[in-house]
Amino acid sequence: MYLQKAKDARRVYATVIRTKTNTDGYKSQGITYPNDEMQNQLMSDIYTEAGINPADVSYVEAHGTGTKVGDKVEVSAIEKLFCKDRKTPLLIGSVKSNMGHSEPASGLCSIAKVLIAMEAGVIPGNLNFKKPNPDIPALKEGRIRVVDKATPWNGGLVGINSFGSGGTNAHIILRSNPKPKPSLLLNIAESLPKLVVVSGRTKEAVQALLDKAQEYCNDDEFLSLLRIIHNNDIFRDVRGYEIININGTREVSEIMSSKERRPVWFIFSGMGTQWAGMGRQLFGIETFQRSLQRCADALAPHGIDLMNIIMNATDETFENVLNSFVTITSMQVAFVDILTSIGISPDGIIGHSIGELGCAYADGAFTLEQTVLAAYSRGKAIMDSKLEPGVMAAVGLSWKEIRKMCPPDIVPACHNAADSITIS
């Protein structure tokens, strides 16, 4: 059972409204005999302190040991508090009918049952319940109803009892989390590749985690939890990853643990990386789509329909250098925004050609609008210059070697690296 402050919680199953305990004290019948007055006082006090009307409680998970005296006393205490001014029967149940009495852990088992019921929207039925105990009027007369079959449920306020054999009584009030799981933004999001990275003490543990990620591949909340947990420096020796929705990508390996943090670099490419259809599958990511729309809005006054280029481009579309420049730069801007949104910032950045604009955006020198308009201006300058058509080629030789080899009408144009030269 994991408790967090609401402001820190990544996944909320329910909110603990209040907890309280008391004890029966001396009983002439013996230490194990229950006391309905003390049980009722406990529940009455906790709901008064919490400012909650017991009539608003939708379900009570009873201690419910199935004993002749215990059930009668507990239901009597529940009826006195919860059935006043109630318009419909109070639903009750006990997980002990499903799994037996787990003794010291029985309270936790009751909470687990309620949390699962909240998550699934169904209260599981009490097993082997055939008819109400005639010695318990509230059951016989219908003011309280035992859930005897799986029952659809919208959640709400729940009270949970747990009693000790020595006379200790405990009660907890839970409120179900009304927030639904985040739905996929677009149908296309179901097929988006998702990188899952985990670690464990054994290869079997890592395989099990990756199997679970596959099982819940469309539950972005669950995958986010995995990422948050395994993003920490836990230094386990076995690590693995898989790209969900791409077959054959799983790898699990044993490594030497190291506390040395490896640097993260953003590398921005130049011309030649554009292709018809790039970015379309990523429109299921809200941040990506929003960034591209901002780029499109900045370009629209200049007669460039960026969204149309991205969604309907063909190979011929990118024969226009202006289209290539604005789409490459817009994609790089959107990727920076995605990485920033999940807390990834670079230790270094490097860019080539038009990719230098991506660098300017990544380090905050340019705004989004300035970045994409700089790409537009560069493309327009080339288009307006009406240069004589020519060709370029990338050659894997040194600058010195290329200069010796080039005829008069071919020149080394870009010194990209020690063994990478662009000729024109």
Residue 218 is part of a domain; what is its CATH number?
3.30.70.3290
| pLDDT, mean of residues 399-409 | 92
Other beta carbons within 10 angstroms of residue 337's beta carbon come to: 18
Q: Are residues 136 and 238 in the same domain?
A: no
35-53 pLDDT, tens digit per residue, is 888 999 999 999 999 999 9
Is 181 a member of any domain? no
Report d(CA 170, CA 51) in Å as an integer.
18
Is 80 a member of any domain? yes
| pLDDT, mean of residues 258-284 | 86
pLDDT of 298 higher than 50 = yes
Report pLDDT for 183. 52
**Residue 254 parent element (H or E):** strand 251-254
pLDDT category, 257, cuts 50, 70, 90?
Answer: low
- Alpha-carbon distance values, 422 to 206, 270, 321, 329, 383 (Å): 46, 13, 17, 21, 21
Report d(CA 356, CA 204) in Å as an integer.
44
406 Cβ contact list (under 8 Å, min separation 6): 412, 423
Helix locations, 171-269, DSSP H:
203-215, 220-230
pLDDT of 182 higher than 60 = no
208-224 pLDDT, tens digit per residue, is 999 999 998 888 778 88
Report pLDDT for 186. 41
Nearest CA to 413 out of 421, 195, 48 is that of 421
Report d(CA 315, CA 317) in Å as an integer.
5
Residue with the larger pLDDT of the pair 33 and 370: 370
**Residue 421 parent element (H or E):** strand 420-423
Contact yes or no for 349/336 (Cβ under 8 A): no
Domains contained in the chain, number? 4
Report d(CA 112, CA 105) in Å as an integer.
11
Report d(CA 78, CA 76) in Å as an integer.
5
pTM summary value: 0.57
Report pLDDT for 187. 46
Report d(CA 271, CA 389) in Å as an integer.
17
Q: Are residues 47 and 158 in the same domain?
A: yes
Is 189 a member of any domain? no
Nearest CA to 230 out of 256, 264, 199, 187 is that of 199
Mean pLDDT, rounded, of the chain: 89
pLDDT of 363 higher than 90 = yes
Report pLDDT for 390. 82
∠ CA 358-362-367, rounded to 5°: 85
Report pLDDT for 85. 83
Which of 254, 281, 296 terminates a domain? The answer is 254
Q: Are residues 164 and 25 in the same domain?
A: yes
pLDDT of 189 higher than 60 = no
Q: Are residues 45 and 162 in the same domain?
A: yes
Enter the tokens of residue 20. Answer: 């309280």
Which of 176, 203, 230 terminates a domain? The answer is 176
DSSP letter for each residue of 375-407: HHHHHHHHHHHTPPP---EEESS-HHHHHHH--
Q: Are residues 83 and 207 in the same domain?
A: no
51-105 pLDDT, tens digit per residue, is 999 999 999 999 998 888 888 999 999 999 999 888 899 999 999 999 999 988 9
- Residue in this structure with the two tokens 């009918």, named with its chain if needed: 97
Enter the tokens of residue 85. Answer: 């001014």
Is 184 a member of any domain? no
Contact yes or no for 48/79 (Cβ under 8 A): no
| pLDDT, mean of residues 108-122 | 94
Is 188 a member of any domain? no
Report pLDDT for 157. 96
| pLDDT, mean of residues 333-344 | 93
| 124 φ, ψ (degrees, to nearest 5) | -70, 150
Q: Which structural domain, as residue segments, surrounds residue 286?
A: 265-386
pLDDT of 185 higher than 60 = no
Report d(CA 214, CA 277) in Å as an integer.
27
| pLDDT, mean of residues 328-356 | 93
pLDDT of 355 higher than 90 = yes
Is 70 a member of any domain? yes
Report pLDDT for 377. 96
- Residue in this structure with the two tokens 């005296």, named with its chain if needed: 69
Percent of the chain with pLDDT over 70: 95
Q: Are residues 160 and 221 in the same domain?
A: no
Sheet architecture: strand order including 144-146: 14-23, 168-176, 157-163, 57-61, 90-93, 144-146
- Please state whether beta strands 90-93 and 57-61 pair in parallel, antiparallel, or not at all (unpaired): parallel
